Chain A
Amino acid sequence: MSSSLLEVRGIGKTYGSVIALKDVSTVVNAGEVTCVLGDNGAGKSTLIKVLAGVHRHDAGEFLVDGSPVRFSSPREALDRGIATVYQDLAVVPLMSVWRNFFLGSEPTVGFGPFRFIDRRKGRSVTRTALAGMGIDLRDVEQPVGTLSGGERQCVAIARAVHFGAKVLILDEPTAALGVKQAGVVLKYVAQARDRGLGVVLITHNPHHAYPVGDRFLLLKRGRALGTYEKSQISLEELTRQMAGGAELEALAHELRGVEGDGGVGG
Chain B
Amino acid sequence: MTPAPPVDERVGSPRLLDRLVLRPEIGALLGALLVFVFFSAVTERFLSTGGVATWLDDASTLGIMAVAVALLMIGGEFDLSAGVMTASSALVTAILATRLGWNVWLALLASLVFALAVGALNGWLVMRTGLPSFIVTLGTFLALQGLNLGVTRLVTGTVQVSGMRSAEGYSSAGYLFASTFTLGGTSFYVSIVWWILFTVIAATVLVRTRFGNWIFAVGGSALSSRAVGVPVVRTKILLFMTTAGAAWLVGSINILRFTSVQANQGIGLEFQFIIAAVIGGCLLTGGFGSAVGAAIGALIFGMARQGIVYANWNSDWFQLFLGVMLLAAVLVNNALRRRAERARR
Chain B contacts for A84, CB-based, 8 A: 227
The yes or no answer to A99 lying at the interface (CB within 8 A) is: yes
B341: contacting residue among A93, A127, A178, A266, CB under 8 A: A93
Return B123 CB to nearest CB of chain A, in Å. Answer: 19
Over the window 106-129 of chain A, the binary record of Cβ atoms lying under 8 Å from chain B Cβ atoms (1 yes, 0 no) is 101000000111010000000100
* Interface residue total, chain A, C-beta cutoff 8 A: 39
Contact between chains at A91 and B343 (CB < 8 Å): no
Contact between chains at B227 and A148 (CB < 8 Å): no
The yes or no answer to A12 lying at the interface (CB within 8 A) is: no
| Given A94-B341, A145-B343, A115 and B221 contact (CB-CB distance below 8 Å) | no
Return B125 CB to nearest CB of chain A, in Å. Answer: 21
Task: Kindly specify which of B3-11, B26-34, B303-311 makes contact with the partner chain.
Answer: B3-11
Return B297 CB to nearest CB of chain A, in Å. Answer: 19
> Which residues 329-345 of B sit at the A interface, judged by CB distance below 8 A?
337, 340-345
Contact between chains at B345 and A117 (CB < 8 Å): no
A149: contacting residue among B8, B213, B216, B343, CB under 8 A: B343
Chain A contacts for B214, CB-based, 8 A: 103-104
Cα A176 to Cα B213 with chains together (Å): 28
Contact between chains at B210 and A117 (CB < 8 Å): yes
B210: contacting residue among A108, A139, A145, CB under 8 A: A108
The yes or no answer to A211 lying at the interface (CB within 8 A) is: no
Contact between chains at B229 and A74 (CB < 8 Å): yes
Cα A76 to Cα B228 with chains together (Å): 11
Chain A's closest residue to B74 (CB) is: A94
Chain A's closest residue to B339 (CB) is: A146
> Which residues 188-230 of A sit at the B interface, judged by CB distance below 8 A?
none
Cα A138 to Cα B337 with chains together (Å): 20
Return A239 CB to nearest CB of chain B, in Å. Answer: 26
The yes or no answer to A92 lying at the interface (CB within 8 A) is: yes
B344: contacting residue among A99, A104, A148, CB under 8 A: A148
Chain A's closest residue to B287 (CB) is: A94
Contact between chains at A105 and B223 (CB < 8 Å): no
| Given A92-B221, A94-B337, A108-B210, A146 and B343 contact (CB-CB distance below 8 Å) | yes
Contact between chains at A99 and B341 (CB < 8 Å): no
Chain B contacts for A52, CB-based, 8 A: 227
B220: contacting residue among A95, A106, A119, A159, CB under 8 A: A95
Over the window 1-43 of chain B, the binary record of Cβ atoms lying under 8 Å from chain A Cβ atoms (1 yes, 0 no) is 0000100101100000000001000000000000000000000
| Given A75-B229, A94-B337, A117 and B221 contact (CB-CB distance below 8 Å) | no
Chain B's closest residue to A107 (CB) is: B210
Cα A127 to Cα B340 with chains together (Å): 20
Cα A104 to Cα B228 with chains together (Å): 6
Cα A105 to Cα B343 with chains together (Å): 26
Chain B contacts for A93, CB-based, 8 A: 220-221, 340-341, 343
The yes or no answer to B203 lying at the interface (CB within 8 A) is: no
The yes or no answer to A133 lying at the interface (CB within 8 A) is: no
Contact between chains at B22 and A143 (CB < 8 Å): yes
Cα A266 to Cα B343 with chains together (Å): 11
Contact between chains at A146 and B217 (CB < 8 Å): no
Chain A contacts for B287, CB-based, 8 A: 92, 94-95
Return B174 CB to nearest CB of chain A, in Å. Answer: 28
The yes or no answer to B226 lying at the interface (CB within 8 A) is: yes
Return A44 CB to nearest CB of chain B, in Å. Answer: 17
| Given A117-B210, A146-B342, A146-B343, A90 and B337 contact (CB-CB distance below 8 Å) | no
Closest 9 pairs between A and B when the two form their complex, measured CB to CB: A92-B220, A145-B341, A104-B229, A104-B228, A94-B287, A116-B208, A143-B340, A89-B224, A75-B229
Residues on B facing A (Cβ under 8 Å): 5, 8, 10-11, 22, 204, 208-210, 212-214, 216-217, 220-221, 223-230, 287-288, 337, 340-345
| Interface CB pairs A-B, < 8 A, 12 | A52-B227, A86-B223, A86-B224, A89-B223, A89-B224, A91-B221, A94-B288, A99-B213, A103-B217, A104-B214, A104-B217, A143-B22
Beyond A103-B230, A104-B217, A146-B343, 9 additional pairs, beta carbon < 8 A: A95-B213, A104-B228, A108-B210, A119-B208, A127-B5, A145-B341, A146-B340, A149-B345, A176-B345
